[in-house]
Structure 1
Amino acid sequence: MTLPALLLLFAIALPAAAQKQAACPYAAWKSGFHGDARAQATCLLRPVQRYARLGASAPLPAFLASRVGQRTDIAPATLRAYLAAQGISEADAGGAVDAPLSRATGRLVAPVARYFVIHDTSYPNFLAEPIPAHINDASWDFNDFTVRNPALGGGPKGHVYVNRLGASLQVRDFGTPGYASKLEKDKPSLTGLFLHVELVQPRNSVPGGGKGNDGLAPDPGFTPAQYERLALLYVAASVRKGTWLIPAFHAVLDTGYANGHDDPQNFSLAQWDAVLSHLSAVIQGAGAPN
């Protein structure tokens, strides 16, 4: 057999996931991606463009750059007091703030969760119809978590959902392993290393992009209230961990897999980072002695 034929046969034999290189190569022996926490976050937060194309990685914004992988400086008691003062239940923040996070399944020595994965629901899909003007109002049905199924888009897959009003719904405690990416489905022993948060975001179809596609997201993609609640969830999960988790975008995890996802679309990392910086200071200030 000639070398070209042999190479072709080898390529055909490989699964689809192996034929396309992952955006951030996974190092199974260390239960993480290549590089230190900051380098991993830089890769895993590459901008997500239409059709799951990824933009070039860029330096992390200030708060994340100085915190990722470092010890958290917020005590569980301080966070608990802040939540109580704001009238936010610990369940809405992913679970009890002093409880352990999930651990990887299928390991003799199971590592604790390391990654905070940001998704959008890509639902509902309005197809060729324009996205309604009132999606950020309480009158929009998909902001009503008392009607679970419409908001969740075909059933819960993550840990916490955040509607466009900034309210959250826990469907799985951050202490409970659960997969919501193709990477984890392909490598089940990784389940538990990733915490998943879904941001409600509708879609419609890109004209000429194929029947039923959901490639077109609103711009801006998310509301200030969603960034605020997402920041709170990240703080809460990191306090439970004891170190600041590594944030990641769903689409980056799914790069290299057939029918991978393209979310979150139109996410402003700079805006989220600014909210994180402010929220962290507020929580710490609330816990400071008088």
Structure 2
Amino acid sequence: MTLRPALLSLFLFATVGTAFAQQQTACPYVAWKSGFKGDARAQATCLLRPVKLYARLGETAPLPEFLAAHIGQRTDIAPARLRAWLAQQSVSEADVGGAVDAPLSRAVGRLAAPMARYFVIHDTSYPNFLLDAIPAHINDAGWDFNDFNIRNPALGGGPKGHVYVNRLGGSLQVRDFGTPGYASKLEKDKPSLTGLFLHVELVQPRNSVPGGGKGNDGLAPDPGFTPAQYERLALLYIAASVRRGTWLIPAFHAVLDTGFANGHDDPQNFSLSEWSAALFRLHAALRQADTGQ
């Protein structure tokens, strides 16, 4: 069929518009299962759509190899093995969300009080340098926001994540993974879900999109996060999954907020492939330590 130019333009606009609308659609929530539609991997595929400028979501894509192979499966690391490895690395259990043999939080507002199953990745979107350039030393120890003694995210108002990770890979527990706490529009809208989601905040500064509105924080550094942040995020994910006994379903904050007014736009410039590679390395190290090989 040959379309006239005007009809062709209308057809292309409708097609692109439909595809864009599908990308911005919230993952289907299923009340009876206290979660989202599909098995664990299908949920993760939806919940890990890339987050772009102004919280626009990219298309779904196949999960990286480690996540595809493990999400929803039984963990193969014993809490005692993880505890011993952490001690060898001089990492406190408090820095990875709490005791690794303790249960995770539960959604006590739900009839069966299901245990946490979602691992939500945020960025702090702070500090905002407005129209100034983001400083070149944000990945150095001398930057104030890499020192939790100087810039403590537990202080101040508003919802808090469970654990914060600075750009040096250091982490600070604000709330144990066993304690429910909301940090998304979805949980605020459906309070009974609080406890199903564990929230991790990665320190990432922002600055403003020129002409994008006074005080906006639309621009993030690229790359968005450091290798040390991906390594610590991998450790937090493993620690939380060991506590549950199955690999958690990861999600991006902005995807959870899709469909809600004033939804968030984080994490920006997050690399699933880098995080998956960090998970591979850490999982292999723990398995090797477990077998003594």
Task: Name the SS for the 2:291 alignment partner.
Answer: coil
Match of 1:195 among 198, 201, 226: 198
Instruction: Give the letter aligned to residue 286 of structure 2.
Output: I
Aligned-partner Cα distance in 1 for 2:95–2:115: 21
Task: Name the SS for the 1:161 alignment partner.
Answer: strand
Matched, 1:115 2:118: yes
Matched, 1:163 2:190: no
Mapped contact 1:183–1:254 kept (Cα < 8 A): yes
Between the aligned residues of both structures, percent identity stands at: 83
* 1:6-33 alpha-carbon deviations (Å, 9 max, x no partner): xxxxxxxxxxxxxxx8420110110110
Q: Cα distance, 1:75 vs. partner? A: 0.4
| 2:39 aligned partner | 36
Aligned-partner Cα distance in 2 for 1:55–1:117: 18
Instruction: Give the letter aligned to residue 91 of structure 1.
Output: A
Match of 1:128 among 124, 131, 146: 131
Match of 2:66 among 38, 63, 68: 63
Higher mean displacement: 280-289 or 90-99 = 280-289
| 1:13 aligned partner | none
| 1:233 aligned partner | 236
Task: Name the SS for the 2:238 alignment partner.
Answer: helix
Aligned-partner Cα distance in 1 for 2:196–2:124: 21
Aligned-partner Cα distance in 1 for 2:152–2:77: 35
Mapping 1:198-217, distance limit 5 Å? 198-217=201-220
Change in 2 beyond 3 A, CA 1:152/1:254 = farther
Mapped contact 1:151–1:200 kept (Cα < 8 A): no
Aligned-partner Cα distance in 2 for 1:153–1:137: 25
The answer for unaligned runs of 5 or more in structure 1 is 1-20
| 1:24 aligned partner | 27
| 1:251 aligned partner | 254
The answer for unaligned runs of 5 or more in structure 2 is 1-23
Instruction: Give the letter aligned to residue 253 of structure 1.
Output: L
Q: Cα distance, 1:148 vs. partner? A: 3.7
Task: Name the SS for the 2:283 alignment partner.
Answer: helix
Matched, 1:274 2:277: yes
Aligned-partner Cα distance in 1 for 2:292–2:282: 18
Mapped contact 1:48–1:264 kept (Cα < 8 A): yes
| 1:101 aligned partner | 104
Instruction: Give the letter aligned to residue 265 of structure 1.
Output: Q
| 1:5 aligned partner | none
Mapped contact 2:208–2:215 kept (Cα < 8 A): yes
Q: Cα distance, 1:152 vs. partner? A: 7.0
Q: Cα distance, 1:284 vs. partner? A: 1.2
Mapped contact 1:104–1:110 kept (Cα < 8 A): yes
Q: Cα distance, 1:251 vs. partner? A: 0.2
Aligned-partner Cα distance in 2 for 1:61–1:122: 25
Matched, 1:73 2:107: no
Instruction: Give the letter aligned to residue 83 of structure 1.
Output: L
Task: Name the SS for the 1:117 alignment partner.
Answer: strand
Matched, 1:137 2:140: yes
Report the aligned-residue RMSD. 1.6
Mapped contact 1:105–1:188 kept (Cα < 8 A): no
TM-score, length-scaled by structure 2 = 0.90
Instruction: Give the letter aligned to residue 57 of structure 2.
Output: L
Instruction: Give the letter aligned to residue 220 of structure 1.
Output: P
Change in 2 beyond 3 A, CA 1:135/1:163 = same
* 1:255-282 alpha-carbon deviations (Å, 9 max, x no partner): 0000000000000000100110110010
Mapped contact 1:121–1:152 kept (Cα < 8 A): no
